[in-house]
Amino acid sequence: KNEVEQSPQNLTAQEGEFITINCSYSVGISALHWLQQHPGGGIVSLFMLSSGKKKHGRLIATINIQEKHSSLHITASHPRDSAVYICAVRSKGGNQFYFGTGTSLTVIP
């Protein structure tokens, strides 16, 4: 069973397009994380959310706790945004993290 589901699995966009990546989860959570994995393999944390919305530059993350759903938006996409984006949740009351399989984004110039 997958506690975290992401869609789409793969996404190709033209430079400048608005991009949305979706994440649904089935467990109670204390926080949701969005991560970016670069082509070289390194992983960096983009956002940690427990409610509402966060914005950092061209990236926006939202979460709806009642619907168990989060979205990551990229405005004015750029080729350097090409990476795998991973949704992860931290279980409520516990120390377990569950990860989605990632969305592979390619932005074409």
Partner 1 sequence: NAGVTQTPKFQVLKTGQSMTLQCAQDMNHEYMSWYRQDPGMGLRLIHYSVGAGITDQGEVPNGYNVSRSTTEDFPLRLLSAAPSQTSVYFCASSYSAGRQGIQYFGAGTRLSVL
Footprint of partner 1 (CB under 8 A): 2, 4, 30-31, 33, 35, 41-45, 48, 50, 86, 88, 90, 95-102
Nearer to partner 1, 77 or 87 (CB): 87
SS3 label, residue 79: helix
CB of 4 to partner 1, least distance (A): 7
Minimum CB distance to partner 1, residue 56 (Å): 12
Instruction: With beta carbons less than 8 A apart as the criterion, state whether 100 and 23 touch.
Output: yes
Angle of CA points 109, 57, 70, to nearest 5°: 95
Which residue matches tokens 């530059």?
57
Nearer to partner 1 among residue 68 and residue 98 (C-beta): 98
Strands 10-14 and 103-108: parallel
Work out how close the CB of 22 gets to partner 1 at its nearest, in angstroms, rounded to a whole number. Answer: 15
Q: Is 101 left (phi over 0), alpha (psi -120 to 50) or beta?
A: alpha
Q: Rounded to the nearest whole angstrom, what is the least distance from the CB of residue 109 to partner 1 in the complex?
A: 28
Q: Which is nearer to partner 1, 15 or 51 (CB)?
A: 51
Instruction: Choose between 77 and 90: whose C-beta lies nearer to partner 1.
Output: 90
Contact 94, 13 (CB under 8 A): no
